[in-house]
């Protein structure tokens, strides 16, 4: 599952606020999981070559997808005696999870040989989604050591989108077939608040003084690519 999580800032105090969350320089992501479920459908062969029909399926998924980013903007404070270049270090981690996925799809295919069907498919997708974001921030390389700040937020709900793909299905006998299928689904995006961050710049001896604060939010897209293998029973 690709993760497009990003941190968006809205400045609520003087100068240095925007630098507190901008300038991401490093990102890393991990993902793992398992999928399993069932389906039913109907096929109609309207010539010796072409088959059309529909399928509906639902599957449960396990495993989460995590993405981390690090931003280190530099704040020049050399105008103050004994000061130098300070860094506002912002680390954010977003975990995204899809608990179940269902689709309702049309399917059309061509019989490459009598026992092998190549097909394209597409239609409606829906699923239960969840995302959590944690943001930690600290000011370093200063004449003092202000405490780190931490904030977080989450989102959960049911999303509806689309799915497209294709595959191949082999008839193993008059009633049994096996298939290999690729699907791409997109359940859209969600934006949710992840709280506020504030640093006392006077304590950090940073130019501009006062408390710099930002309100943060995360935007996450729920989409992915699936390759799956299945076995079908045909009620002729």
Q: Tens digits of per-residue pLDDT, 119-143?
A: 999 999 999 999 988 888 777 655 5
Mean pLDDT of 14-23: 41
Greater model confidence, 89 or 210: 89
Give the number of other CB atoms < 10 A from CB of residue 124.
15
CA distances (Å), origin 46, targets 36, 72, 108, 112, 167: 32, 62, 11, 15, 19
The mean of the pLDDT values for the chain is: 76
The predicted model scores a pTM of 0.74
Q: Residue 218: CB partners within 8 Å, gap ≥ 6? A: 5, 6, 7, 8, 92, 94, 131, 133, 153, 191, 192, 194
Q: Tens digits of per-residue pLDDT, 159-179?
A: 999 999 999 999 999 899 999
For residue 20, report the phi and psi dihedrals to the nearest 5 degrees.
Answer: -65, -25
Spatial contact of 86 and 104, defined as CB atoms under 8 Å apart:
no
Confidence of residue 33 (pLDDT cuts 50, 70, 90): low
- Percent of the chain's residues with pLDDT above 90: 33
| Residue tagged 């398992």 (tokens) | 34
User: What pLDDT score was predicted for residue 1?
Assistant: 43
Greater model confidence, 32 or 185: 185
User: What pLDDT score was predicted for residue 165?
Assistant: 97
pLDDT beyond 50 at 180: yes
pLDDT beyond 60 at 189: yes
CA distance 205 to 187: 46
CA distance 12 to 179: 56
Confidence of residue 147 (pLDDT cuts 50, 70, 90): low
DSSP 38-81: EEEEEEEE-SSSEEEEEEEEEEEEE--EEEEEEE--EEE-TTST
Spatial contact of 137 and 199, defined as CB atoms under 8 Å apart:
yes
Confidence of residue 46 (pLDDT cuts 50, 70, 90): confident
CA distance 207 to 14: 10
Q: Which residues pair with 152 in a beta bridge?
A: 134
Mean pLDDT of 7-26: 41
């Amino acid at each position: 599952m690709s993760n497009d999580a990003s941190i968006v800032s809205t400045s609520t105090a003087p100068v240095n606020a925007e630098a507190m969350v901008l300038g991401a320089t490093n990102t890393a992501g991990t993902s793992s999981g398992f999928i399993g479920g069932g389906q039913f459908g109907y096929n109609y062969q309207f010539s010796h070559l072409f088959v059309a029909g529909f399928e509906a399926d639902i599957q449960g998924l396990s495993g989460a997808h995590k993405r981390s980013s690090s931003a280190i903007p530099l704040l020049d404070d050399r105008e103050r005696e004994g000061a130098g270049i300070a860094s506002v270090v912002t680390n954010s981690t977003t975990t995204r999870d899809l608990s179940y996925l269902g689709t309702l799809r049309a399917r059309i295919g061509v019989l490459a040989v009598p026992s092998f069907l190549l097909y394209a498919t597409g239609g409606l997708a829906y699923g239960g989604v969840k995302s959590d974001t944690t943001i930690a921030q600290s000011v370093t390389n200063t004449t003092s050591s202000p405490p780190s700040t931490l904030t977080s937020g989450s989102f959960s709900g049911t999303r509806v989108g689309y799915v497209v793909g294709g595959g191949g299905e082999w008839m193993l006998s008059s009633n049994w077939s096996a298939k290999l299928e690729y699907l791409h689904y997109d359940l859209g995006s969600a934006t949710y608040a992840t709280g506020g961050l504030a640093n006392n710049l006077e304590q950090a001896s940073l130019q501009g003084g006062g408390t710099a604060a930002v309100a943060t939010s995360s935007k996450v897209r729920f989409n992915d690519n699936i390759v799956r293998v299945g076995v079908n029973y045909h009620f002729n």
